[in-house]
Each structure stands twice: as C-alpha cells, then as structure tokens.
Amino acid sequence: MRVRALVLAAAVAFGVISVEALPMTRDPVAHADPMAERPLDRVVELALTRLRTGDTVAAAKWVSAAASGTEPVIDDPAREAVVYDAMARAGAELGVPEDWVRQVFFGQIEANKMVQRGLLARWRFDPAAAPTTAPNLAAVRPVIDRVNGEIVAQLAAHRAELSGPGCAERLATSVFPSLTSGSADALHQAALVRASAALCSPD
C-alpha cells in the first residue's frame, strides 16, 4: 500500500487515469497555502537531482564501453556498499535508523540504475542519439555526495511526515508536480516514483 498514492500520481502523469478519477483528500482544511502542506518537496527535489546524475554516468559508461569494445556495466556493488555504509553512519549521527537509511539509498541507487539502463537501451536502439564524448564524471561525484547528505538531513527533519500510513499520500503531493510539469521525461518520471517510494519509514 505504500506506493499506491505514488502509483496513482504516475498513472495520471502518464495519462492512464484522469485527475477526476483520483480520490479526494479527506483533509477538511482549506488549501489556502499549498506549499505549507508540502513539507516533502525538498526531499523529492533532491531525489530528482540525484536521478539526473544518471544521465552523465550513463553517457560516460557508454563512451568508455564503445572505446574498449565492451558492454557498459551498470552495477557497482563495491561502490554501492560504500554509499550504504557512509549514509548509515551519517544517519546515525542524526538519530535516523540504519535500516531506514539503507532502504532509502537502495531506492535511490536502483532508481538511478533505471535511468542508466533506460538511456543505454535508447542509445542501442538509436545510435545516432548516443553521446560520442565522455562527460566529466569528476563533476558528478560532489553533486551526488552533497545530495546524499541532504537526503539524510531531510529524513531526520521530516521523520514524522515520512512515517505512518499517510506517508505515500503526502509524498504524492510533492511528486505529482514533477510528473506533470514537463521538467522530466517518462524515464525520469518512472525512476522518480521508484526513488520516492523508498522514502517512507518502515516503522
């Protein structure tokens, strides 16, 4: 049930169902200040920023593999383990449970892989659209490190909103604008739903 609200938001964005088909909120309070009711906007924005680094990583892997005549490698278990451990330590300093931190970053990493796999598949189908020059990955790592740290901080700051049965619905209100604004294509939208679904606390 955790991802139900997010799936509904994605379905509307992709035209599967209409906005009118969505269940209305049970909150009787008038929506005078939408931003005040969306405290999770920042963590969703961070998840989307992290996803967009997948474009650069995929391009670098594509160009490198093409030069060596090999297949691009998406999975990097050793690097992923470093991220999990580092973020678990950062979360512990802020009182965020380790299992939650690991769940969140598993979701972020898997969503990033979705972007990479989607782009690589696109370029195999349409080689003319594939990158020919490797981007500078050195500029990407600081972005990922910064975003990772900010995501942990957001977990600590909004633990209440990210807990309980209402988490997915609250997240959906922040995810939905990114799905409908035109700022992300279908691949990144699907990956954002995956990344966001991992944000709710298991407690």
Residue 61 lies in a domain: no
Residue 27 lies in a domain: no
Residue 41 lies in a domain: no
Select the more confidently predicted residue: 65 or 8.
Answer: 65
Residue 36 lies in a domain: no
DSSP string covering the chain, please? -TTHHHHHHHHHHTTSS-GGGSPPP---S--S-GGGG-TTHHHHHHHHHHHHHHHHHHHHHHHHHHHHTS------HHHHHHHHHHHHHHHHHTT--HHHHHHHHHHHHHHHHHHHHHHHHHHHH-GGGS--S---GGGHHHHHHHHHHHHHHHHHHTTTTTSSTTHHHHHHHHHHHHHHSSSS-HHHHHHHHHHHHT-S---
CB 47 within 8 A of CB 111: yes
Flag the least confident range among 6-20, 44-58, 118-132, 158-172: 6-20
Neighbour count for residue 159 (Cβ, 10 Å): 16
pLDDT digit string (tens) for 152-189? Answer: 999 999 999 999 999 999 999 999 988 888 778 999 99
> Is pLDDT of 79 > 90?
yes
Residue 37 lies in a domain: no
Structural domain span for residue 189 = 1-14+76-203
Residue 70 lies in a domain: no
Neighbour count for residue 106 (Cβ, 10 Å): 14
Q: How confident is the model at residue 36, as a pLDDT?
A: 53
Domain count, the chain: 1
188: Cα separation from own chain's centroid: 8
Residue 97 lies in a domain: yes
Q: What's the rounded Cα separation, in Å, for the pair 84 and 89?
A: 9
Q: What is the CATH number of the domain that holds 181?
A: 1.20.59.10
Residue 196 lies in a domain: yes
